[in-house]
Amino acid sequence: MYRFIRPLLFRLEPESIHGLALTFLRFTGDTPLGWILTNLYKLPNRPVEAFGLKFPNCLGVAAGFDKDGLAWRGLARLGFGHIEIGTVTPYPQVGNPRPRLFRLPEDRALINRLGFPGRGADFVARQLGSPRLPGLVIGVNIGKNKDTSLEDAPEDYLYLYERFSSLADYLVVNVSSPNTVGLRRLQAKKALHELLNALNQERNRKDRTQNHKVPILVKLAPDLSDEELVDAVEVISQTGMDGVVVANTTVKREGLKSPLAGESGGLSGAPLRARSTDLVRRISQLTGGKLPIIGVGGVMDVEDVREKLDAGAELVQVYTGLIYQGPGLVKRIIKEL
């Protein structure tokens, strides 16, 4: 059915239709219509364990789809095993000027330069108070505010850790978006060590007082050189982080056909598939398979999921594939795995 309505949806401005989709999913998550969706997309349990958590299945929603935690209950009705909310910043911010989201149908891709627009940590925290579907895992992806200097960035992440460590099942440190000026510099060895070490120390302190240790993962960019990747993985391991998410969007544009390919921002979708899978494989090799990996980037069908799992990922996330393939993608993937 989705393939028939997609041409109509694609006539609308991308960010506007995304907002409508979130509104629909928010509504269905809290009404009897949600139970219809649950039965329509009902799936067998195929549990997966990663970084100390048990997931109903390996497929999740990547950060960026539901930035403010508005629609996670509706998304859960589609069969996802986990949903990653965010990126959440400490305080509300409008992000970059519109237009800032572009479809590239010829490439089955998106370009976004959103810049972490959102309503801030307090708003998102309130959204996470609703009851969850049994077994659903919720992650929160955290990032610094645009106006926070790189030197002060650890304070933003520590604030967000404190705000969400008791609300989320896991946290993801986003230091890899290309749409906040300078953010990717936090992936450099010294800066990354300072940030992650501060988070781990705070987590250990809180664990001693509250007997609670939320897993922390780090989301990396696909544009790192191999030397930069080796440094980042070394720091992630040394500072006691629990896993990685690879990869974020890319600033590279090789081989694109769309006339919108020159728009600035991060590219996601099918063109990112091979690079993100290569990174999954490389990190698995570097760590001997001991560091849990969530693979994301270019997941359009079950073969793309299998590719990432075979490369060493425990879990896989989708975002752009959901835009191009529709809500039935989740059920098709899980049934065919």
Total structural domains in the chain?
Answer: 1
What is residue 36's predicted lDDT score, i.e. its pLDDT?
A: 72
Is residue 177 flagged as an active site residue? Answer: yes
Has residue 30 got a pLDDT over 80? no
pTM: 0.95
Q: How far is CA 163 from CA 20, 80, 158, 167, in A?
A: 28, 25, 9, 8
Q: What is the mean pLDDT of residues 296-309?
A: 97
Element (H, E) at 64: none
Q: What is the mean pLDDT of the chain?
A: 94
> Average pLDDT for residues 130-155, to the nearest whole number?
94
Looking up residue 163, the CATH number of its domain turns out to be 3.20.20.70
210 — pLDDT class (breaks 50, 70, 90): low
Closest CA to 169 of 135, 204, 206, 193: 135
**Contact by Cβ (8 Å): 85, 66:** yes
The range of the structural domain enclosing residue 290 comes to 2-336
Confidence at 266, pLDDT banded by 50, 70, 90: very high
Confidence of residue 42 (pLDDT cuts 50, 70, 90): confident
Q: Which residues of 43-62 are buried (b: 16+ CB within 10 A; e: fewer)?
A: beeeebebbebebbbbbbbb
Q: Using a pLDDT cut of 70, give the percent of the chain over it.
A: 99
Catalytic residue among 165, 177, 258, 268: 177
Give the mean model confidence (pLDDT) for residues 53-66: 97
Q: Provide the pLDDT for residue 333.
A: 94
Q: Confidence band (pLDDT; 50, 70, 90) for 313?
A: very high
Q: What is the pLDDT of residues 175-194, one digit of tens each?
A: 999 999 999 999 999 999 99
